[in-house]
Structure 1
Amino acid sequence: MATVLDATARELRARLRDERFLATVRSSVPAGVTLRSAAALEETLEQTLLQHPVDADIHVFAYGSLMWNPALEHVGQATATVHGWHRSFCLRNLFGRGGPARPGLMLALDRGGSCKGVLLRIAAHCAREELAILWRREMTWGTYDARWVTAWVDGAPVPAVTFVANRGHVRYVKGLPASEAARLINSGEGNLGTCRAYFDATLAKLRELGIEDHRMEQLRRAVCAHPGCE
């Protein structure tokens, strides 16, 4: 049975499928910012699909906003762990929940450690359509690379697609002091809302799922202690 999407997820899904909305996004990016072209999105999607059987369901490993607003039609989900990658606020955000005047930070998977998140299962018959929507959401900006990883669910390995930080991108930042990360999270704001709301929603979802993430808790303390915290 397909998971029912709430109103917020349906709204985001509609935006991602709207060519006019995407054209507006592309035309409004700051000067000097280069986005992946539609052709480049298609090429990376095809390369990813070639590594998966056509008649098999596809799993997507979610670790940030995809956990609490997937905007994807999926037929199941489970808590899962991926090794070799950790959840990190390592991407400077200039779109959506940040802007040139008020940049924020966004999550990615970065190398090392492990990460617990949510495994979304997409039915084979609609996998390409759903991944095309997901690609528009995650791959347009060039800050992420799609990668197959092994997600572990109750001791069993499951191949899954996820999105890791593009370390060669100009917006990739590593090793920010906690105070600077907290400042950006508290002050970042764009046309989709605030970075702080994104941070809080992710933390709330982790707690709802019973997932402990020590890095997120350390960052939460810095965010709450920062003078810009409301």
Structure 2
Amino acid sequence: MRLTSDLVAQVMLNATDTEPGPMPAGRRPATEADLQGAVRNILASAPPRDQMWIFAYGSLIWNPCFDHVERRTGIVRGWHRSFCLGWDRWFRGSEKWPGLMLALDQGGQCNGIVFRLPADGIEENLLELARREIRLIPHSFPARWINVSTAEGSVRALTFANHRTAPGYVGRLSPAEVADALAIAVGQFGSMAEYLRNTVVQLEELGLRDHNLWRLQAMVAERIKRAVERRASSDRRSP
């Protein structure tokens, strides 16, 4: 693991202005009515209450915002993790240091965690999930039901997956361009380097390796290290 916590800390030290940017044209903050409507739409096509699963592929793995009564590792086919939503200037990005957000993009496969919600708290837990995931309207990665393969059998699970025609899709960036952005992006909720490290560490602890993210963390670490070395060299030359 080359992206160490010490390197991640350097990103925050370099951030001189993390003020969020203006609201993107054609979008607005989600209201409570929007969130309740989203929950109603989810429930309209939901499986039985005792089989309500959530698939987590990013921060929900280590920081779920809902109660759960069971969790399993699983694999989703037809989707893969990708920093394909940009440019984030409000969360782990800012006007000066914009970033990219992680989502599921089409193609490949993705390993992660499925959580089963308690049958007697479905609406409350889905509303908390909506508050966490749906910040702007229209939403760039809408909720959808997907099949997840687990050792105990296949389950139908809710997740948030990218829509390639949605606002902000930037999935055609090269790995080098993605690494360039993640190495400097920082906002009011922290840095993208921290988010990347947390995701990779949690996956590794679960015995789940995402080869694309493993390569990406090394690329981001190298960029942060070079930036630190350049600053040190500049400081030495200063009178």
TM-score, L = length of structure 1: 0.82
CA contact (8 A) 2:21 2:95 kept: no
- Does 2:97 correspond to 1:102? yes
Name the counterpart of 2:108. Answer: 113
Name the counterpart of 1:165. Answer: 162
Name the counterpart of 1:59. Answer: 53
Name the counterpart of 1:50. Answer: 44
Taking only aligned residues, the RMSD between alpha carbons, in angstroms, comes to: 1.9
Structure 1 moving runs of 4+ over 4 Å: none
TM-score, L = length of structure 2: 0.79
Q: Distance in 2 between matches of 1:31 and 1:105?
A: 16
CA displacement 1:199-218 (0-9 Å, x = unmatched): 00000001001112111122
State the one-letter code of the partner of 1:32: P
Q: Distance in 1 between matches of 2:228 and 2:208?
A: 24
- Does 2:119 correspond to 1:124? yes
CA displacement 1:174-204 (0-9 Å, x = unmatched): 1212222112111111111111100000000
CA displacement 1:38-68 (0-9 Å, x = unmatched): 3333222211111124532411000000001
State the one-letter code of the partner of 1:104: G
- Does 2:77 correspond to 1:83? yes
CA displacement 1:48-94 (0-9 Å, x = unmatched): 11112453241100000000111211112110111110111111222
Q: Distance in 2 between matches of 1:229 and 1:72?
A: 38
- Does 2:187 correspond to 1:195? no
For residue 222 of structure 1, the aligned residue among 212, 215, 219 is 219
Secondary structure of the residue that 1:60 maps to in structure 2? strand
CA displacement 1:76-128 (0-9 Å, x = unmatched): 21101111101111112222211122111121000011100011111111011
- Does 2:65 correspond to 1:71? yes
| Runs of 5+ consecutive residues of structure 2 not aligned to the other structure | 1-19, 230-239
CA contact (8 A) 2:140 2:168 kept: yes
Q: Decide whether aligned partners of structure 1 residues 47 and 187 sit closer, same or farther in structure 2, where only a CA change above 3 A counts.
A: same
Q: Distance in 2 between matches of 1:140 and 1:164?
A: 15
Query: Which one has the largest radius of gyration?
Result: 2
CA contact (8 A) 2:98 2:185 kept: yes
| Runs of 5+ consecutive residues of structure 1 not aligned to the other structure | 1-27
Secondary structure of the residue that 1:71 maps to in structure 2? coil
